[in-house]
Structure 1
Amino acid sequence: MIISPGLVIILIIVALVIILLAKGLMIVQQSEAVVIERLGSYNRTLESGINLVVPFIDKPRSITIRRYRQVKGDNLPLVVEETRIDRRETVMDFPGQSVVTTDNVTVTVNGALYFQIVDPKRAVYEVENFTQAIEVLAKTSLRSEIGRMELDKLFESRKEVNDALQVTMDEVGDKWGVKVTRVEIQDISMPSEVEDAMRLQMAAERKRRATVTEANGQREAAIATAEGEKRSSILRAEGDKQASVLRAEGERQAIYQLRDAIGADDPQLVIGYMLGQKYLQMLPDMAREGDRVFIPYEASALLGAMGSFRELASEVGEPTNASNEGLRRARQMMTGEAGLG
């Protein structure tokens, strides 16, 4: 079978068209971008979808990215060249950095940086290696911020440090077409002697707080006890006061009733009668169990007073057994016969 030259030419042309179409079609994935240069100059930025380029004339410009790879527990830097620019948010976990605080304590700070490429053109043309530039800027900014703080303040101000770093990184990153979304301090390591000193300080602080709490508890308990005793004393005093008032009121009413019963207008007579009653009631108990009682009063005056009291009691109509017994005891004591029971 003889193939004509015209058919060969047609086949060659079709093959070339297929090759050109294959080279001219570029599919860009979602959240990716490609920077196209035409004859060495920037032409356009391809977005996601199907894009047409001129084969052998339009070429994608590669971007230099520095990444870290875990090798035996260590983060080793790895520099790669990529033509497709990832526009998703990316995290960079850069190694720990030694930083000196204002109180001359050397600490190792490990941080993480979250960034996103918002302008692929500036990320390619404005900086040679934007990831390395961001990392170096983050380290220098971290040293600058922490270098103005004391060690104790550093642990309390992580959020302030993160916010300050984000503002600094965002201002510079905007020039490179990079948006720094968040900067986080992951870990702060310090020398062992500093950790021991801080541990002792925390133990002393907890002990001090416990002592203060115990003292406050004892003080409140003492106040509560004193308050209770105060209220109890007030209540007892109120009770004694009311009892005294009631006793005085009872005695006053008894005096008035006795005065009305004997028909005496002289208060002294009523008082003398009541004292006589008390005295006569006490006489039987004054010389018990053989004790001798000496009364430094004139016997005749004492017996006369007792007789008056007995007559007064008879007039009132009260029982005179106690009065008679008292008179008998008084006569025995006057004659030396007391103590016979």
Structure 2
Amino acid sequence: MGLEDVLAAVIGGNLVVLLLAAVVILSVVLGVRIVPQSEKHVVERFGRLRSVLGPGINLIVPFLDRVAHKISILERQLPNASQDAITADNVLVQVETSVFYRILEPEKTVYRIRDIDGAIATTVAGIVRAEIGKMELDQVQSNRSDLIATIKDSVEDAVENWGIEVTRAEILDVNLDQQTRDAMLQQLNAERARRAAVTEAEGQKRAVELQADAQLYAAEQAAKARRISAEAEAYATQVVAQAIADNGLEAAQYQVALKQVEALTKVGEGAGKQTIIVPAHAMDAFADAFKMLKGRG
């Protein structure tokens, strides 16, 4: 065997080793798959679904299995969409919506639907029109949170077979046409005028009530004063009656005669009155008083 034959054998052996090493390296490269935390990989074998690789290091059969789809499992947001809808009271509104979702089962998303974003957007538009058609405009404006929750639940039921989860559904705005806005503005102004009139009427009513209460209070106080005066007079009468009962009629007559004398004395003390004309019965009163005074002395 010549030198050339030896060199050829050595080179051939080295080539085989190199080929085997290349095959081993290629097998390792093709068989080991490192999946990022934010992704899932769909593996196919001869065109059929083989498995779904989760985050981390995964092993597949080289040359038989291949990663056909790399699916992000991060939350996604659909572009804001605007669709027309008619409320139960026949008002045309334009609703702007936004939907957030994420893929949970990539194998369903890959093999059951082609354009997942377009499918979700179409589903949301139909559900929004259906739900708003059940409500009047005032309910759409005031119960937006309930409407959002209903839309989210309906979308989740509709896309369940696509392997996704709807995380949020938002109604960003509800716009009205100009004619409807003008009509609502007129209604709002009329309602404000009505409330102002009601407030003014209630104020006048309250003023009348307060005035009547004041008059009633004044009447009650006057009646109370008259009652107290009457009670005082009754008490004085009772005292006199008790004195008469205790001291006899003579004591009462003495007090009356004394008062008469005092009254006539005051009349005589008046300025410019030198002569006093006294009725005859007044003289009798003087005589009675003098007698009683004398008797008391």
TM-score tier after normalising by the smaller chain length: 0.7 to 0.9
Say whether the 8 Å CA contact 1:262–1:315 is kept in structure 2. Answer: no
SS of residue in 1 equivalent to 2:85: strand
For structure 2, the residue ranges without an aligned partner over 5 or more in a row are 1-6
Given that residues 261 and 316 in structure 1 are in contact (C-alpha distance below 8 angstroms), is that contact kept between their aligned partners in structure 2?
A: no
C-alpha deviations, 1:272-304, integer Å up to 9, x for none?
A: 86996798589779xx9xxxxxxxxxx9xx822
CA drift of 1:150 comes to 2.0
Alpha carbons 1:142, 1:165 under 8 Å: kept: yes
Counterparts of 1:256 and 1:312 in 2: how far apart (Å)? 23
* Aligned pair partner of 1:124 in 110, 117, 120: 110
SS in 1 for 2:78: strand
Give, in whole Å, the separation in 2 of the partners of 1:116 and 1:277. Answer: 118
Q: Corresponding residue for 1:36?
A: 43
Judged with a 3 Å threshold, the aligned counterparts in structure 2 of structure 1 residues 248 and 25 are, in CA distance, closer, same or farther, namely: same
Distance, in Å, in 1 between the alignment partners of 2:123 and 2:241 is: 107
Q: Which residue of 2 aligns with 1:208?
A: 194
Name the CA distance, whole Å, in 2 between partners of 1:243 and 1:118: 95
Other-structure match for 2:57: 50
Q: CA deviation at 1:28?
A: 0.9
CA-to-aligned-CA distance 1:92-121 (integer Å, 9 cap, x gap):
243211112233322110111122222211
* Within-5 A mapping of 1:192-207: 192-207=178-193
Could you tell me whether the CA contact under 8 Å between 1:101 and 1:148 is conserved in 2? yes
- Deviations along 1:196-245, whole A, 9 cap, x unmatched? 33233233323433443444444445434543543443234223322332
User: In the alignment, what sits opposite 2:3?
Assistant: none
With the length of structure 2 as denominator, give the TM-score of the two structures: 0.78
Distance 1:313 1:204 in 2: 88
- How many Å separate the matches in 1 of 2:183 and 2:292? 96
Q: State the SS of the aligned residue for 1:4.
A: helix
> Residue 17 of structure 1 is aligned with which of 14, 24, 28?
24
- Tell me which moved more, 132-141 or 101-110: 101-110
Deviation at 1:271, TM superposition (A): 10
CA contact (8 A) 2:74 2:103 kept: yes
Q: Deviations over 1:43-74 (max 9, x none)?
A: 1111111112334432333xxxxxxxxxxxxx
- Map 1:45-84 onto structure 2 (within 5 A): 45-61=52-68, 83-84=69-70
1:262, distance to aligned residue in structure 2 (A): 8.6
Structure 1 residues 244 and 12: CA distance shift in structure 2, 3 A? same
Amino acid at match of 1:306: A
2:297 aligned with 1:311, yes or no?
no
Q: CA deviation at 1:142?
A: 0.6
8 A Cα contact 2:257 2:286, kept in partner: no
> Which one-letter code corresponds to 1:309 in the other structure?
A
Could you tell me how far apart the structure 1 residues matched to 2:199 and 2:262 are? 62
Partner of 1:237: 223
Structure 2 counterpart SS, 1:264: helix
Question: How far is the alpha carbon of 1:149 from its aligned partner?
Answer: 2.1
Structure 1 residues 201 and 250, CA, compared in 2 at 3 Å: closer, same or farther? same
Q: What residue ranges of structure 1 are gaps of 5+ in the alignment?
A: 62-82, 289-298, 319-341
8 Å contact kept, 1:32–1:84: yes
Amino acid at match of 1:11: L
Secondary structure (helix, strand or coil) at the match of 1:30 reads: coil
Measured against aligned partners, the alpha-carbon deviations of 1:62-88 in whole angstroms (never above 9, x if no partner) come to xxxxxxxxxxxxxxxxxxxxx322223
Bigger RCO (CA 8 Å, 6+ sep)? 2
Shift of 1:251: 4.7
Counterparts of 1:7 and 1:256, CA distance in 2: 153
**Contact 1:259-1:270 at 8 Å conserved across structures:** no
- Select the structure that is richer in helix: 2
Aligned-partner SS, 1:54:
coil
Q: Distance in 2 between matches of 1:207 and 1:277?
A: 79
Matches within 5 A, 1:26-175: 26-61=33-68, 83-175=69-161
What TM-score do you get using the length of structure 1 for normalisation?
Answer: 0.69
Which residues in structure 2 correspond to 1:256-267 (within 5 Å)?
257=243, 263-264=249-250
Q: Return the alpha-carbon distance in structure 2 between the equivalents of residues 234 and 224 of structure 1.
A: 15
Q: Secondary structure at the match of 1:84?
A: strand
- Taking the aligned partners of 1:315 and 1:126, their CA distance within structure 2 comes to 137
The answer on whether the counterparts of 2:81 and 2:121 sit within 8 Å (CA) in structure 1 is: no
SS at structure 1 position matched to 2:179: helix
Equivalent pair of 1:262/1:316 in contact (CA under 8 Å): no
Q: Is the 8 A contact 2:39 2:71 kept in 1?
A: yes
Report percent identity of matched pairs.
28
Distance in 1 between residues matched to 2:206 and 2:257, nearest whole Å: 57
